[in-house]
């Protein structure tokens, strides 16, 4: 039974509570007993156009309830619109964005934009309740519709800050979308909506006056039919945000230029590059301010110091828009990145490797991180330079780099050892450009299996004097560790460090297979092994075979601290001497280049 069918079958608060996976008493307490002061937190944020916007963010208990209802309503919304073909509303929806919204209006003679006034606040309690009662797709019991409206509304409106407001606004706004797309088709126009931003576009010689016309003063205004339709559906046009853009000037839809292809404004990109240049050379930068006029250039405002997180968001946004136009192979992108990819890539190197706040550990796969974490938790007393147990939980002294899909895409590298080899190749070039002199405080350590798959990486490393191993130092602050050989000199993978009995553990009657491809009928994969076997048993597993690996990692980090003039603490030195009794009290030093 779908979530929509479940909602339609509800007759009371008790039934709705079951659908939301709540106890009826708990749901009733949140709605009717919990004081308003414990439901929402109110604050304001500045608007780009000036003034301030009131945010009402639900507190923990109500937030959890609203998130659950939001999931159910989003599933219902997907079911309602599945027969409508191309999406009409692109806001707050999976697989939709400002990009998909703008794509509909590329290369048009006219682009007309309007904004709905007080979009969320205009959807009040009565409208929400009435929608769920009378809409043909829902037709809910009045009691159930009332409870839903009580969950999603506050002070007789949809609050900005609630996880329910976006999906409820899309449900209510869908009625407006249907009416306006009919109007658009009648006059051979394209239509889309992104939250409160509405766009019509056409290649007709004259723009249809029913949608927009030139008023006596020479300004464009919404046409009578458009205005009447919007008003009839319970909304109003924000008269301050009405614009007509012809093909002879820059056309913008939801912040993106659409004259030929969807793109960001040139000045926005230019300022982002300026901020990167300032960060990479001076160690700081300032957030840019852009004028409200789409033709106005942005400037660097020395009063708005910016955070790295903000700059990453800006670069990610630009890359999302521009990156879709680059259809080259990974190798081509890696060797000759487009300008935005180059800037974003350099930023990721700066953030994760040059200005790392802790030593960084890079592993081949997701499961390697889990193994190392579990081993360190059990052996934490031996490795105070890596982990510490506090009264509040675990305090990690190292960072496990998450090789996300976006990270690999920007660096144009694959998963596994081939991707790590490519990262090694580009490391010095990308780290060497930073001139602020404040970075490389911590080492970046790459951990790889000692098997045939690591052949490419091994070929880049220098052999030890005895010819049996590899020197860990590679370049800059990058070190590469290979797992030790097996007892008989054989190649091993990290899973081979576990006892044989553990590797033979059955899960749902299936056997563990550490290879990439598994027979799902009889075998389970590495991720299942890590999540279902290692994590639950981490307190009793024998991690002794991991100690040579952790000793090596510990030694690299303490040695790097020594080279950088930060001597290890007495506790760290004592632990190191216990683990490496043949060493002198001074931690071993890996001299770069030797």
Q: In the predicted model, is pLDDT for residue 179 greater than 80?
A: yes
- Band of residue 309 on the pLDDT scale cut at 50, 70, 90: confident
Residue 391, C-beta contacts closer than 8 angstroms, at least 6 positions apart: none
Task: Report how far residue 536's alpha carbon sits from residue 585's, in angstroms, rounded to the nearest whole number.
Answer: 37
For residue 301, give the DSSP letter.
Answer: E
3-state secondary structure of 150: helix
Q: How far apart are CA 520 and CA 537, in angstroms?
A: 23
Number of helices (H), then strands (E), belonging to the chain: the values are 22, 21
Q: Residue 217: what pLDDT?
A: 84
pLDDT in tens, 550-561: 999 999 998 888
Mean pLDDT (whole number) for 218-234: 95
**What's this model's pTM, rounded to 2 decimal places?**
0.76
Q: How far is CA 17 from CA 7, 11, 357, 441, in A?
A: 10, 11, 45, 53
pLDDT in tens, 350-389: 999 999 999 999 999 889 999 999 999 999 999 999 999 9
**pLDDT band, residue 187 (cuts 50/70/90):** very high
Closest by CA position to 157, among listed 186, 127, 131, 179: 127
pLDDT over 50 (residue 192): yes
**E strand segments, 452-574:** 473-475, 478-482, 511-512, 523-524
Which pLDDT score is estimated for 488? 78
- Res 588: pLDDT: 36
pLDDT tens, position by position, 484-508? 887 777 889 999 999 999 999 999 9
**pLDDT over 80 at 591, yes or no:** no
Q: What is the pLDDT of residues 14-54, one digit of tens each?
A: 999 999 999 999 999 999 999 988 999 988 887 766 677 88
Q: Domains plus CATH for the chain?
A: 1-84 (no CATH), 86-123+158-261 (3.30.70.270), 264-289+307-355 (no CATH), 356-498+534-578 (3.40.50)
- Joined together, the tokens standing for residue 137 give 């797709």
DSSP state of 525: -
Q: Following DSSP, what letter does each residue of 43-59 receive, concatenated?
A: EEEE-TTSSEEEEEEE-
pLDDT tens-place string over residues 73-127: 999 998 888 876 667 889 888 888 899 999 999 999 999 999 999 999 999 999 9
**393-450 pLDDT per residue, tens:** 999 999 999 989 999 999 999 988 999 999 999 999 999 999 888 889 999 999 999 8
How much is the pLDDT for 283? 85
pLDDT at residue 165 greater than cutoff 90: yes
Q: Mean pLDDT score of the chain, rounded to an integer?
A: 88
């Amino acid at each position: 039974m779908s979530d929509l069918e479940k909602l339609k079958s509800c007759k009371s608060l008790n039934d709705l509570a079951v659908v939301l996976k709540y106890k009826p008493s708990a749901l009733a307490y949140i709605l009717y007993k919990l004081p308003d002061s414990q439901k929402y937190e109110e604050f304001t944020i500045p608007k780009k156009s000036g003034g301030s916007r009131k945010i009402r963010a639900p507190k923990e208990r109500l937030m959890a309830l609203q998130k659950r209802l939001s999931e159910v309503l989003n599933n219902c919304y997907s079911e309602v619109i599945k027969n409508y073909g191309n999406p009409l509303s692109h806001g707050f929806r999976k697989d939709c964005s400002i990009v998909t919204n703008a794509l509909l209006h590329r290369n048009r003679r006219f682009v007309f934009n309007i904004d709905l006034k007080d979009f969320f606040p205009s959807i009040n309690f009565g409208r929400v309740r009435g929608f769920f009662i009378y809409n043909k797709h829902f037709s809910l019991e009045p009691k159930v519709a009332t409870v839903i409206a009580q969950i999603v509304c506050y002070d007789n409106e949809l609050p900005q800050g609630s996880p329910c407001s976006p999906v409820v606004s899309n449900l209510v706004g869908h009625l407006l979308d249907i009416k306006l797309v009919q109007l658009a088709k009648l006059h051979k126009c394209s239509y889309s909506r992104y939250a409160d931003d509405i766009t019509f576009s056409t290649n007709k010689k004259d723009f249809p006056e029913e949608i927009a016309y030139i008023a006596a003063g020479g300004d464009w205004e919404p046409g009578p039919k458009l205005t009447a339709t919007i008003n009839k559906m319970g909304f109003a046009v924000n008269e301050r945000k009405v614009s007509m853009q012809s093909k002879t000037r820059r056309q913008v839809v939801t912040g993106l230029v659409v004259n030929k292809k969807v793109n960001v404004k040139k000045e926005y990109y230019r300022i982002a590059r300026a901020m990167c240049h300032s960060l990479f050379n001076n160690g700081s930068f300032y957030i840019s301010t852009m004028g409200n006029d789409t033709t106005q250039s942005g400037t660097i405002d020395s009063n708005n110091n910016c955070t790295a997180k903000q700059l990453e968001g800006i670069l990610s946004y630009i890359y999302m828009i521009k990156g879709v136009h680059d259809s080259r192979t990974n190798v081509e992108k890696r060797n000759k990145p487009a300008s935005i990819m180059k800037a974003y890539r350099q930023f990721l190197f700066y953030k994760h490797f040059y200005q790392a706040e802790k030593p960084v550990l890079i592993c081949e796969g997701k499961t390697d991180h889990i193994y190392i974490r579990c081993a360190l938790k059990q052996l934490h007393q031996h490795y105070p330079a890596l982990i510490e147990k506090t009264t509040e939980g675990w305090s990690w002294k190292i960072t496990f780099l998450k090789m996300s899909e976006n990270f690999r895409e920007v660096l144009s590298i694959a998963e596994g050892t081939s991707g790590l080899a490519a990262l090694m190749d580009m490391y010095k070039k990308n780290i060497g450009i930073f001139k602020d002199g404040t970075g490389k405080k911590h080492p970046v350590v790459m951990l790889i299996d000692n098997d045939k798959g690591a052949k490419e990486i091994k070929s880049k490393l220098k052999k030890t004097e005895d010819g049996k191993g590899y020197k860990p130092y590679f370049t800059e602050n990058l070190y590469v560790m290979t797992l030790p050989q097996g007892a008989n000199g054989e190649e091993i993978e990290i899973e081979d460090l576990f006892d044989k009995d553990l590797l033979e553990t059955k899960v749902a009657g299936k056997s563990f297979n550490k290879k990439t491809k598994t027979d799902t009928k009889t075998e389970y994969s590495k991720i299942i092994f890590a999540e279902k076997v290692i994590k639950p048993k981490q307190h009793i597993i024998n991690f002794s075979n991991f100690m040579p690996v952790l000793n090596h990692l510990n030694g690299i980090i303490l040695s790097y601290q020594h080279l950088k003039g930060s001597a290890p603490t007495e506790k760290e030195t004592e632990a190191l001497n216990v683990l490496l009794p043949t060493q002198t009290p001074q931690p071993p030093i890996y001299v770069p280049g030797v």
